Each structure stands twice: as C-alpha cells, then as structure tokens.
Structure 1
C-alpha cells in the first residue's frame, strides 16, 4: 500500500502577527552625557537610571532607548565607515512642530550634520555624543499610507531615493515669508534650498 504524498505546506516568510519595533539599545562610554542629550533632542526621559544603564522613553512605552555602560566597552574605531546601524529616527506629526524643534535645538547649539528631503520625509540628521546618527523627520505627505504608496510606485523616488540636501535655515526663512509647508517641501525636493557646502555623502561624521 502506497503512502499518500502529503502536500507541502506553504511557507510563511513572516510572522502571521508581526511584532512592532519597540526600542534600540546602545553601548556607551558617556552615559550621563547621552541621557542629557536624548532628553534635550527628543524628549526621552529616564524610567530607570543607574550607574551602569538607563532606559528612556518619550511616549507610553516603558522605554524606547536603552543605554548600557559596561566596563568592557571600548571606543569604536572608524565608526563612520564601519558596518552597522547608521541612525535611529523620530518623527513629528507636522511640519511646524518639526521645524520649531530645529530652531529650539539650534538655539541650544545643536545642529544637524546633514539635512535631506527624501520625498517621503523631510529629515534632519544629528550625531549623539557617541557619534550615533539620529534622524528627526516629518512625513512629507502627512499620511503613512500615502507616503508608502509614493515610495513604492514613484519613478521619482526610484531614480533619486536619497533625495536633495537642504539648508534648514532657508526653510525657516521661507516659512517666515509665508511659504506653505507643501511648497517648501516641493522647493527642497527641487534643490532650491541647497546648503552652501553640501555634504559629500551620507556617512556619519567622526565621533567626538
């Protein structure tokens, strides 16, 4: 008697119920400085803070960033050109909140090392005290479904996924002149707010 051949079950390449991204953890030699920086830049405050670690959040989650100061940690070598995480990202709900935060940080002496209009987002890139990248962004469409569709279907994004560099001070000036957020986005994407010395590439700056 032949054993019937069982049909091959379909592969499930992803969880049926996918998990949500919850937090990122960093090893640090500058725990206190990192805690102060993330609170100033992104409103992340400690839920638990000890001599060797801190867990920070800026929303309902118990933590979004964890910082671990282990005695075995060594200073990173050639971090800007080493494989690994380039940046974490935080998003504002609207253009004015996003640009107001830029002005607030600028007045505190914290400025981005790179500013890009990606088409899907307008993004400011900062470096934390350990040289990790931190993106502060606003969705250019104000709607994830719309920006996701544009990213998937747009020839413009396919041809230029990195986007256009811009000078954020020129965005502040344009807003003060009454230019709308949508028009500022279109102008930035078209390269009308280029910085005087655009970055040569998108690599992180040297850690400081």
Structure 2
C-alpha cells in the first residue's frame, strides 16, 4: 500500500482557435519540440497538440470548432500576471527553467523573435521573466528553489482569509491517504461538490458506469502513425 498525491504537472491544456500559431510560438520562440498532433479522442472535429517541456511534462493545446473567439480582459483573460480574471480561469502559466543563466538565455531568445519580455524580477524564492503568448496567454519563466513555508505563509493573509490555526496546520501537512487493496466506490452526484460539466442526464449515466466500462469505452491507444 502506498501513500499517494500528485507529483507534478503532466500537461496543462489550453484552448485555441489556431493550433498552428500556438505550435509555431512554443517551438520557435521557446524551443519546445512538438511531440503530438492528433484527433482528440471522443470529441468530433477537435484535435490535440503537445509540446514537450521534459519527457514527463508538456503544454497541450485543444482545438475545437466551437471554441469561441472571445477575449475580454478581466473576464476571459488576465492580460498580465497580476490582473483579475474569472474565478477558475487560467491567470497565467509559469514554466520552470534550470538556472538564472538559462532564464537570461531564454529572455534573449524570446526578444530575438520580436516578443517583449519584462524582467528578470527577483521574487525571493524564485526569479522570473514575463511575456505574452498567442491568443492572450500570459506566460512566465521561472527559476528558483523549494519554497520555505515558514517564511512565505503570511499571518496577515491567513487571518484575512479566515484560516484558523488547526486549518492552517492541515493545509501545511495534508493528511496522507493510503491506497488500499480495492477501488473506492464512485460517490453520488453531490451538487455541493465540484463536478464536471455535462448535460445532467448524461453525467448521471457516466458516473453510474463501472471504471472498467469507462476504460473500455474511452480508451484509445493507437497512435495516428503506425511504427511497424
């Protein structure tokens, strides 16, 4: 039995109306190689692209013909790394680089492609540069060290957010969950809990399916190009 929690970001998926422009930007401006471009499983008319940060971490783009062409700063997009945006939306993405020399090298690469870069800026536990990507993306590159929670959890902000001492301790030291010998049963649809957005009757059918059936119906493992 193993204690479990997420260990990193495999990919962050960004909606796009022009997947070629996103691929061109991330490959040429940032030097991230294209690793996948294929029809999205289970979504008619949609396709996926993946550019590689490292073999365990990617930025993905999702083209869907019904993606709206909307950019409303303060609602759909932040526009910079400290601006407001709708709750639950992507405020900005920060991508990790190895050290300060690499950060400066990428600053120069980005500027050489005609893209404005702000920084570097020293945030204490990390150093960053900021710039824009296609379709209103706000991007950051960062190098730094592990965050020391003793120094960087501000008691004033804790109090403003009505976080009590016991709650704070739980947040700093989350309870471990040890996976048992069998799967936990699917809970019912509780409207008070976060849930994915589907038509209500479809969602009820989906969550009633056993995991084995979801695996069978939704999995698609064959790549578009056969490597025989």
How would you bin the TM-score normalised by the shorter chain?
0.5 to 0.7
Q: Does 1:53 align with 2:58?
A: no
Task: With the length of structure 1 as denominator, give the TM-score of the two structures.
Answer: 0.57
- Over the aligned positions, Cα root-mean-square deviation in angstroms equals 2.8
Contact 1:112–1:126, Cα closer than 8 Å, also in 2: yes
Deviations 1:17-56 (A, max 9, x none): 1122211001101210100111133322222224732122
For residue 111 of structure 1, report the CA deviation from its aligned partner: 1.9
Does residue 70 of the first structure (1) align with residue 32 of the second (2)?
Answer: no
TM-score (norm 2): 0.53
Runs of at least 5 residues in structure 1 that lack an aligned partner in the other structure: 1-14, 162-208
Structure 2 unmatched runs, 5+: 40-46, 79-83, 158-228
Find runs of 4+ consecutive structure 1 residues off by over 3 angstroms: 113-116
Aligned counterparts, 1:15-164, within 5 A: 16-20=3-7, 21-50=9-38, 52-61=47-56, 64-78=58-72, 79-80=77-78, 81-83=84-86, 84-112=89-117, 116-139=121-144, 143-144=145-146, 148-149=147-148, 152-154=149-151, 158=154
Number of residue pairs the alignment of both structures matches: 137
**Secondary structure class of the residue paired with 1:57:** strand
- Could you tell me whether the CA contact under 8 Å between 1:57 and 1:65 is conserved in 2? yes
